[in-house]
């Protein structure tokens, strides 16, 4: 799949679930091509969000959007099949939740999905270096996962820069995604540090004009990438 980068990925965690389909359509009208789904289990992170049924509903509402599923759960191997069946194009698991990370990545691929690995703000890049050749996406958490609406953690910019360098040196082509606290205040910084997929939850869905906000954030990101 080819994408123009950088690309905004609205996270439906902050959406109004009584009108989820409408809100996803508003993102599409604003030019979004990705939708980000945050799955939380109350164990790996101290919050519970939603499961594969909601991902399937989001996918039915907008089947042309690239469905980016972020699993913040323990034992993700048990749930990969149900998220693949729900319509996930890409499934990201956390390094911190996967003792057999290489096996989990290949399980995701065996279910026909692209594979991503996420690292928390306190996790060093070195812990995923052994699997970088096997990935389609690396996700740098720029908040501690579990809740929308938190403040961006500045020190994660260094990790984006480090990963961008590693990707250049290795000739790999995985996407570099950032998640947490991405807003009009921070989007230019993350793009300049190297991020090419930009997850934004509250800054999109807490807006009264979702389409316009999506369009504005995407334009800011595209402009920032010209000077990156
Ligand atoms: C945080 C989630 C994020 C969250 C981002 O645990 O992984 O995707 O929805 O929300 P904002 O953009 O509000 O920080
Ligand atoms: Zn997420």
Asked about 41 being catalytic, the answer comes back as no
Per the residue annotation, which of 38, 68, 136, 196 is the catalytic one? Answer: 38
pLDDT of residue 227: 84
CB-ligand 1 contact for 177 (6 Å cutoff)? no
pLDDT of residue 1: 57
**84-119 residue pLDDT tens:** 999 999 999 999 999 999 999 999 999 999 999 999
**Which CA distances in Å does 12 have to 4, 167, 172?**
22, 29, 30
Q: Average pLDDT of the chain? A: 97
Closest CA to 7 of 224, 196, 176, 195: 196
- Beta pairing, strands 137-141 & 114-119: parallel
228 — pLDDT class (breaks 50, 70, 90) = confident
**155-197 residue pLDDT tens:** 999 999 999 999 999 999 999 999 999 999 999 999 999 999 9
222 phi, psi to nearest 5 deg: -65, -40
Q: Nearest ligand, CA of residue 139?
A: 2
Which residues fall within 8 angstroms of residue 149, CB to CB, at 6 or more apart? 14, 201, 202, 206
Return the number of other C-beta atoms located less than 10 Å from residue 16's C-beta. Answer: 12
CB-ligand 1 contact for 190 (6 Å cutoff)? no
Alpha helices in 48-112 (DSSP H): 52-61, 80-86, 101-110
Q: Closest ligand 1 atom, CA of 13? A: 9
């Amino acid at each position: 799949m080819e994408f123009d980068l950088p690309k905004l990925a609205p996270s439906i965690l902050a959406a109004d679930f009584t009108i989820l389909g409408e809100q996803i359509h508003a993102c599409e009208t604003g030019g979004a091509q990705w939708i980000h789904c945050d799955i939380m289990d109350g164990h790996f992170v101290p919050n519970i969000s939603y499961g594969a049924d909601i991902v399937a509903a989001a996918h039915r509402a907008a089947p042309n959007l690239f469905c980016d599923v972020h699993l913040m759960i323990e034992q993700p191997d048990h749930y990969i099949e149900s998220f693949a069946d729900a319509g996930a194009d890409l499934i990201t698991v956390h390094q911190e939740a996967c003792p057999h990370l290489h096996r989990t990545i290949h399980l995701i691929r065996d279910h026909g999905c692209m594979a991503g690995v996420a690292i928390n703000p306190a996790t060093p890049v070195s812990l995923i270096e052994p699997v970088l050749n096997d990935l389609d996406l690396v996700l740098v958490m720029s908040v501690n996962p579990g809740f929308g609406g938190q403040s961006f953690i500045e020190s994660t910019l260094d990790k984006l820069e480090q990963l961008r360098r590693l990707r250049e040196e290795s000739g790999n082509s995985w996407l570099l995604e950032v998640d947490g606290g991405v807003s009009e205040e921070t989007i230019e910084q993350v793009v300049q540090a190297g991020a090419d997929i930009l997850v934004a939850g509250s800054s999109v869905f807490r807006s009264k004009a979702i389409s316009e906000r999506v369009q504005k954030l995407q334009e800011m990101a595209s402009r920032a990438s010209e000077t990156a």
